[in-house]
Chain A
Amino acid sequence: MSEFSNWDIIYNLLMAARWTVLLSLTAFVLGGLVGLLLLMARTAGGAWAKGLVRCYVELFQGTPLLMQLFIVFFGLPLIGLDISPWMAAMLGLTLFTSAFLTEIWRGCVEAIGKGQWEASTSLGMKFTQQMRYIILPQAMRIAVPPTVGFSVQVVKGTAVASIIGFVELTKAGTMITNATYAPFTVYGFVAVMYFLICYPLSLFARHLEGKFRHVAR
């Protein structure tokens, strides 16, 4: 049997943590882009588009992330797309993130006074111009703190990807536990590493909240 020192455990977990970070970043960026498109459909689209986006959000907020990953992972091969756990995790988490971000940002856009829309319409601006020059610059200021706060949820969500076999921090923890029989130590370290990734984000979100509240009043 191979001997694992605490340093070996930490080293191996750190190597795996890179995948957690990469998956989080990818899901967050892609999810943000999809979320932005959905937000446009939600604010500008007709009744149909609005209803569809609402259903989309409802679907992803009303079902477990694990089921979403399972459906992507087991569903796509059925239509002939052979995908790896990495692709499935990335795709699943992107959709999950986009639904939540759309909902968060919708609230922010709605918080912008109706007068701003009316004033910009009276200046003859088209929807894209209104969004680009009037609404988004204001909505973004309110949106930053909750968006940063949600990034913590994305990082924690990546742990679920371990279940479809993607080797990130949690999966590495399980694999090392199977080799060392030291679950208390290993999962302790795993938890500490997630904490080290998430806590700064939480603090940053809280800091931004305080800052923007000050500006708003």
Chain B
Amino acid sequence: MAYAFDFGAIVPHWELLLDGAILTTELTVVGAVVGVGLGIMGAWARASRTPVVSQIVGVYVELIRNTPFLVQLFFIFFGLPALGLKLTEFQAAVLAMIVNLGAYSTEIVRAGIQAVPHGQLEAAQSLAMNRLQIFRYVIILPALQKIWPALSSQIVIVMLGSSVCSQIAAEELTFGANYIQALNFRAFEVYFIVTGIYLVMSILLRMVLKVLGNYLFERRRHV
């Protein structure tokens, strides 16, 4: 017997998907902003002259980059309460995304910093700038500009990865889809539509990041 597709069965539940998409966006925005911030600090610490600091960051980066996001999420949500740190689903999801993106962006930003020409550093030093000033005024913007495409891709990957947050019952887009298919058993139709929504969201996110990159870097170049 042939299966009769019924995409119309999803329509009455559109609000669940909208709420889910909004939560996915929230997770992504908070995760991206704080995660990239963490990555910049990580890259700064990685260049630290105290070997211990640099090594600790190195261990963090390798630990996160070599374990699955899902396991990190489970560890934070189910494991950390054993240490007395109890988090809500949203907090755990956002924390996992921050920690994950922080590690990747540490490596990405570090590559950008290494690509800043040495002459710039020497010029800044000859102006008697201290390390923080050099980092803030000379290094970080050109470094970010150089690696912006790589960073953008990583942010998109993290946004798509957030779909597994449904597993700890964070009510994002995939959670909405799971909920709908539990109501009407139209699993294929729901996931097909939600896949399309993710595709649109990732294309939009890439566009937003591109515009943001132009705004952050192009204008300053002319000022």
B72 beta carbon closer than 8 Å to chain A: yes
Set A62, A156, A184: member contacting B69, Cβ < 8 A = A156
Q: Is the CB of B199 within 8 A of A63?
A: yes
Closest 7 CB pairs of A and B: A159-B68, A183-B78, A198-B66, A64-B163, A184-B82, A184-B79, A74-B187
Q: Is the CB of B202 within 8 A of A62?
A: yes
Chain A interface extent, by class:
35 or more
A66 beta carbon closer than 8 Å to chain B: yes
A187 beta carbon closer than 8 Å to chain B: yes
CB of A129 to closest CB in B, whole Å: 35
Q: Is the CB of B74 within 8 A of A63?
A: no
CB of A159 to closest CB in B, whole Å: 4
Interface string of B180-197 (1 = CB under 8 A from A): 000000011001101100
B160 beta carbon closer than 8 Å to chain A: yes
Q: Is the CB of B82 within 8 A of A183?
A: yes
Q: A59-B199, A187-B75 are in contact. Are A66 and B66 (CB under 8 A)?
A: no
Q: A64-B198, A174-B74 are in contact. Are A194 and B188 (CB under 8 A)?
A: no
CB of B3 to closest CB in A, whole Å: 4
Interface string of A11-51 (1 = CB under 8 A from B): 00000000000000000000000000000000000000000
A208 beta carbon closer than 8 Å to chain B: no
Q: Is the CB of B174 within 8 A of A187?
A: no
Q: Give the residue name and chain of the B residue nearest to A155 (CB).
A: B68
A67 beta carbon closer than 8 Å to chain B: yes
Residues on B facing A (Cβ under 8 Å): 3, 5, 62-63, 65-72, 74-75, 78-83, 156, 160-164, 166-167, 174, 187-188, 191-192, 194-195, 198-199, 202-203
Q: Is the CB of A62 within 8 A of B198?
A: yes
Q: Give the residue name and chain of the A residue nearest to B201 (CB).
A: A62
Cα(A65)–Cα(B159), bound, Å: 12
Contacts of B161 in A (CB 8 A): 64
Q: Is the CB of A66 within 8 A of B164?
A: yes
Q: Give the residue name and chain of the A residue nearest to B4 (CB).
A: A78
Q: A64-B174, A66-B163 are in contact. Are A159 and B70 (CB under 8 A)?
A: yes
- 19 A/B residue pairs, CB under 8 Å, sorted by A: A67-B163, A67-B191, A67-B198, A71-B188, A75-B188, A78-B188, A79-B3, A152-B66, A159-B68, A160-B164, A170-B68, A184-B79, A184-B82, A184-B83, A187-B78, A191-B67, A194-B67, A195-B66, A202-B66
Q: A66-B166, A190-B71 are in contact. List 7 more A-B contacts (CB 8 A).
A: A62-B198, A63-B202, A70-B191, A75-B192, A160-B68, A170-B71, A183-B75
